[in-house]
A and B are shown apart, each in its own frame.
Chain A
């Protein structure tokens, strides 16, 4: 399978705990996006990487959220001191720089439940 993969698919945690999600994009894609989606809403932009550089971070993200993409390959999204409001689906998407189709390739997402 050469699609975008995310791990874990589901995570249940207690409030105050830290969680980390991993995304492996399509290998030749240099652009990587993180989105958050809650029930009945569209994906909300969180952050964007071009290769290893984090070019934008949404104002939605508090300082409890951090993302990395070492070596421009896989990416991790960490949430520290989780709150119940962090419960959502965290989606990763990748695309090839320079393409003109606007297509993002999404992973199946990591669903976070904070108790």
Chain B
């Protein structure tokens, strides 16, 4: 089966940088994604890493180390609107198709 671990809560100051870590265990690993979800909203896709290294998309960057089964999401120049839950999700090959399994999420609170 699949399992993912990420911190349950993180608090950071507006304008600062925060890193949310994710470790995973899975067979048939394909890639690691990150999603953002505001209270009452739907999860929205942020980034995807299939290969080792850093992917940058604006203020958000995501890193993957396949050998360590580890990744992180880096949020820079934090804004109040970044307060949300962030989920890492593992894509794995299961029975010939790409299954996506989510972690339990990290609630980020950005304070002034």
Contact = CB atoms under 8 A, between A and B. Distances in A.
B43 interface: yes
A43 B36 CA distance: 12
B50 A42 contact: no
A23 to B, nearest CB: 12
Contacts of B41: 108
A100 interface: yes
Interface in A67-115: 91, 100-109
Contact of A102 (B31, B44, B87): B31
A62 interface: no
Contacts of A44: 102
A48 B30 contact: no
Contacts of A91: 42-43
Nearest to B8: A40
B42 A102 contact: no
Interface string A43-79: 1110010100001100000000000000000000000
Interface of A: 31, 33, 35, 40-45, 48, 50, 55-56, 91, 100-109
Contacts of A48: 97, 99
B105 A41 contact: yes
Contacts of B103: 42
B73 to A, nearest CB: 14
Interface in B12-71: 30-33, 41-45, 48, 50
10 closest cross-chain pairs (CB), A and B: A42-B102, A102-B48, A106-B42, A102-B33, A103-B45, A43-B102, A102-B91, A102-B31, A42-B104, A42-B105
Contact of B95 (A33, A43, A56): A56
Given A102-B31, A102-B33, A56 B97 contact: yes
B94 interface: yes
Given A43-B87, A91-B43, A102 B100 contact: yes
B48 A103 contact: yes
